[in-house]
Each structure stands twice: as C-alpha cells, then as structure tokens.
Amino acid sequence: MTSRLPRPKKRFGQHFLTDRHYLARIVEAIDAKRGDRMVEIGPGTGILTAELAPRLERLHVVEIDRDLAAALEGRFPNVVVHVADALDFDFTRLPQELRVVGNLPYNVSTPILFRMAEIAPRLVDCVFLLQREVVERMVADPGTPDYGRLSVMLQYRFAMALALHVPAGAFTPPPKVESALVRMRPLGADRLGARDELLFARIVAGAFSQRRKTLRNAVKSFVDEDAFARAGIDPQRRGETLSVAEFVKLADAAGP
C-alpha cells in the first residue's frame, strides 16, 4: 500500500496516515452518524475519507494539494471536494452544526485551531490528529509547564480532551514527533465570556509573552493597579497561574 502513496510535499507538511489499526481507532473516536454535517481538513490520500464517506449522507473535504484533490474527485459519489487552503477557506459556506475532522499539518495546525475558535458557535465538535506536544498544550491545566496562550484561548471556547496517542510509525513518512487525537466541543452560549474579547486576547497574549514576568509588568499596557484590585487578582502572580475564568475577570475589570 505504501508504495502507491504519492510523494509527500514538504511545503504542505504532508505525513500520510497509513496504519490501519490507528485508522480504525480514529474512526471509532469520530463516531460519524448518517445525518452528521461533516468536513474533513486535509484528506490527503483519502484513507480517512474512505472510512467516513459510507457512514454519511455527504462529506465535504478541504484539500490544498491540487494533485491529491484531483485524485479524490469522483472517487466517492457523496464527497464534495474543495481545493483550498484551510486557512483561507470560508467554513461559513458549509451548514451550521458542523463537525470538523482531520489530520492537520503540523506547520499550520495552530492557525487552523484559531480559525475553529472563530467559528465555534457553528460547530458541534472538532476531532483532530495533531502533534502530541500541541495537544498537550491545548488541554493543559493552569500552573503546569504546558499551559500557555494556546491553552487559554482554546479553553475559552471549547471543552477539550486528549482521546488517543498515535506513534510516528503510523505515518508515511514518519514524522519526527509523536501525534495525538484531540476532541474539541464548543462550550455553548452560556459559557463564561469576556465583555471585550479583543482586550481579553491582548491580555492573554501579554501574560505569556515573557513567562517569567509578573502580571503587573507583563500586561501593564492593558491593566492598571485598580483593575487588579477590582478583579481580586494579585499582580505579582504570573500568567501561567491564572485560570481562564480569572483571565476573563481581569479583562472585565480592565475594560470600560
């Protein structure tokens, strides 16, 4: 099977999943139902597409590689192929209550995750295969070494869980890192939200820009002493010790 694979293109960060055991476990984790509205990012050779398509009425796929996209055209009667970069693709063209799945290229995984955060109200869930270190940062708790800006900004929008570890040998060519499967479920309209989300994002970015700085020094452009007092947060703390809820509280205290 691996001899028939197309040559991976480094510019797209391509590593094709080829291990059938891990494929079956990923399909089980996705648990596609007939009426699901689903889009697969980066179908590549179509190994996951071939498992999902028979389970769904329709499956959209977004593939940047024109050669791989052309190979998928017409292969599955219920698969709609979009030749596009997932970073530029307008997901609002697709139905609401959307499920998003895929093996994300390591070199653009973080920007794609932030794209998902932007459209979170339209989503049912996301199930992504990613670099293991990225997933560990996504699900990290406050006060741990992996907790950072990515953790806060995604946990602000999603409940997340690491579902499966996948070894490098499950891919062709094997990447230099391990992978993991993560599930992201939007928190919903009743989640805790900041009044000024742009200010919230700026405070979070500032808090982690230099991890050794205290909050007083790291976010002094956005938060004054009175705001710290109103939020009940010690300005001598460091960003990695604050929960998502505390970042929201600080942003609200600092805003108009």
- How does pLDDT run across 2-61, given as a tens digit for each residue? 335 555 444 444 567 899 999 999 999 999 999 999 999 999 889 999 999 999 999 999
CATH class of 2-186: alpha beta
Would you say 112 and 104 are in contact if contact means Cβ atoms under 8 Å apart? yes
Fold of domain 197-254: Helicase, Ruva Protein; domain 3 (1.10.8)
Domain with CATH 3.40.50.150 in the chain: 2-186
Whether pTM > 0.85 for this model: the answer is yes
pLDDT tens, residue by residue, 9-24? 444 445 678 999 999 9
List helix spans (H) across the chain. Answer: 20-30, 47-52, 66-72, 109-118, 132-138, 149-155, 197-209, 215-218, 225-231, 244-254
Give the pLDDT confidence of 168-196 residue by residue, as tens digits: 999 988 888 999 999 999 998 888 999 99
Residue intervals in the chain for CATH 1.10.8.100: 197-254
State residue 256's pLDDT score.
84
Closest Cα to residue 105, out of 71, 69, 84, 130?
130
What pLDDT sits at residue 4? 57
* Bridging pattern class, strands 16-17 and 59-63: unpaired
State residue 15's pLDDT score.
67
**47, 23 Cβ separation under 8 angstroms:** yes
Mean pLDDT along residues 229-253:
97
Task: Give the span between the Cα atoms of 6 and 235, in whole angstroms.
Answer: 54
